[in-house]
């Protein structure tokens, strides 16, 4: 009887560890077992639940593939959900990219940066490149937006022009700087000059710096700069001497302004520094001519460099009365 009791007691002692061990694993999350034997995967990403396949998660050499093949340790809760300690806000977008190979990205720069961070964390390189390309496009669009500096002082203007590496086109537009009345067409021509300025900004944006000065002494005057110095100037205002009063007249020499804008491009990327650059800009071609009523002056600035000043119908001495009325000219 004692031998049987001893044998029974020994058998009970040896069986006790086998009973207690499974109870220990049931209360602890399963780790590093992989998902090789599974077809479907349940993911709990920061409280956001997703149901997908191992095939989808394994499409790219990413962190998600390493989770599926067991090379990365994961936590699986008691209900079989793979728990990832990450925000689930953009995880659905990551899954859709793995499913389709492409996905629409948010236009907001901050959200796009968040998607990029998630793609980098999960090491989904295809999505990373997709986000970087979208960011570059946004940057290009942002840089193409027109930025027109508003000059508030002469020192600010001089500093901007002197330090700018691009050619500069400046429009002085100060309608209030006039002690006379305007002629009938002057208001329309002022607006046309401003509209032309806006069109040139859109046409040559990125190649030329455009500056609008509303505090200058000139009512309407275009200035063209290259390599920090003034190359040409087109003054659009003139004084009309009538029989009883003086009037200020504003012209719109569109062709001349556009021509000077094209000429100033010779200084783009310092191309005007060469031996032929100055000659090309300062020499008038055979097809270039002044319009009716235009005069050209050249003032020395230093050495052989000169500023070409074009005055449109400068100091016209007549009034603009209708046909049949006497016109008075003054010397």
Looking at per-residue pLDDT, the higher value among 205 and 187 belongs to 187
Give me the pLDDT at residue 27, please. 34
Looking at per-residue pLDDT, the higher value among 6 and 52 belongs to 52
The β-bridge partners of 230 are 225
pLDDT at 89 over 80: yes
Provide the mean pLDDT of the chain. 75
Q: Which residue has the tokens 């190649």?
A: 207
Residues 6+ away with beta carbon under 8 Å from 189 = 220, 236, 250, 251, 252
Mean pLDDT, rounded, for 217-221: 88
Looking at per-residue pLDDT, the higher value among 210 and 312 belongs to 210
Domain assignments of the chain as residue spans, ordered by start: 36-143, 150-268
pLDDT at 32 over 80: no
Give me the pLDDT at residue 280, please. 41
Give me the pLDDT at residue 212, please. 83
Instruction: Report the candidate in 202, 212, 203, 198 with the shortest Cα–Cα distance to residue 168.
Output: 212
Give me the pLDDT at residue 60, please. 92
pLDDT at 129 over 60: yes
pLDDT at 307 over 80: no
β-strands 30-31, 75-76 pairing: antiparallel
- Whether 191 and 173 have beta carbons less than 8 Å apart is answered as no
Whole-angstrom CA distances from 236 to 91, 123, 172, 186, 216 are 61, 62, 10, 10, 14
From the CB of residue 49, how many other CB atoms can be counted at a distance below 10 Å? 10
β-strands 82-84, 75-76 pairing: antiparallel
Give me the pLDDT at residue 17, please. 42
Poorest-pLDDT segment among 60-69, 70-79, 146-155, 302-311: 302-311
Query: What does DSSP assign to residue 183?
Result: P
* Spatial distance between the Cα atoms of 239 and 321, rounded to a whole number of angstroms: 16
- Whether this prediction's pTM lies above 0.75 is answered by no
Kindly state the tokens that stand for 207: 């190649």
Give me the pLDDT at residue 35, please. 67
Q: Give one DSSP letter per residue of 229-241, joined into a string.
A: EEEEEEE-EEEEE
Give me the pLDDT at residue 227, please. 85
- Whether 189 and 250 have beta carbons less than 8 Å apart is answered as yes
Q: For the chain, give the percent of residues with pLDDT over 90.
A: 35
Give me the pLDDT at residue 244, please. 75
- Whether 191 and 292 have beta carbons less than 8 Å apart is answered as no
CATH number assigned to the domain covering 150-268: 3.40.30.10
Which CATH superfamily groups domain 36-143? Potassium Channel Kv1.1; Chain A (3.30.710.10)
Quick one: how far is CA 286 from the chain centroid?
40
Domains 36-143 and 150-268 share a fold: no
Mean pLDDT, rounded, for 150-167: 80
Quick one: how far is CA 96 from the chain centroid?
29
Mean pLDDT, rounded, for 163-180: 85
Give me the pLDDT at residue 150, please. 65
Kindly state the tokens that stand for 218: 């000139």
pLDDT tens-digit series, residues 240-296: 886 678 888 999 999 999 999 999 888 876 655 544 444 444 434 444 445 445 555
């Amino acid at each position: 009887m004692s031998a049987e009791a001893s044998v029974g007691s020994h058998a009970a002692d040896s069986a006790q560890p086998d009973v207690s061990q499974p109870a220990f694993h049931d209360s602890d999350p399963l780790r590093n077992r992989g998902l090789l034997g599974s077809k479907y995967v349940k993911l709990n990403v920061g409280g956001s639940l997703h149901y997908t396949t191992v095939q989808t998660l394994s499409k790219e050499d990413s962190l998600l593939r390493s989770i599926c093949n067991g090379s990365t340790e994961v936590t699986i809760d008691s209900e079989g959900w793979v728990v990832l300690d990450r925000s689930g806000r953009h995880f659905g977008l990551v899954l859709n990219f793995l499913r389709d190979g492409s996905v629409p990205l948010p236009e907001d720069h901050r959200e796009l940066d968040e998607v990029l961070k998630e793609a980098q964390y999960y090491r989904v390189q295809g999505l990373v490149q997709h986000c970087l390309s979208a960011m570059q496009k946004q940057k290009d669009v942002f840089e193409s937006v027109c930025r027109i500096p508003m000059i508030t002082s002469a020192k600010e203007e001089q500093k901007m022009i002197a330090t700018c590496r691009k050619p500069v086109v400046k429009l002085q537009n100060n309608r209030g700087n006039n002690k006379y009345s305007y002629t009938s067409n002057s208001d329309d021509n002022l607006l046309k000059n401003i509209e032309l300025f806006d069109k040139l900004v859109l046409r040559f944006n990125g190649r030329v710096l455009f500056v609008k000065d509303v505090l200058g002494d000139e009512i309407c005057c275009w200035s063209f700069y290259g390599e920090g110095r003034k190359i040409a100037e087109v003054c659009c205002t003139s004084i009309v001497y009538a029989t009883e009063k003086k009037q200020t007249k504003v012209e719109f020499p569109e062709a001349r302004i556009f021509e000077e804008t094209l000429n100033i491009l010779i200084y783009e990327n310092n191309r005007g520094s060469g031996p032929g650059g100055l000659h090309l800009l300062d020499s008038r071609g055979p097809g270039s001519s002044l319009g009716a009523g235009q005069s050209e002056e050249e003032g020395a600035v230093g050495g052989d460099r000169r500023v070409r000043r074009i005055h449109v119908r400068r100091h016209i001495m007549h009034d603009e009365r209708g046909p049949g009325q006497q016109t008075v000219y003054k010397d």
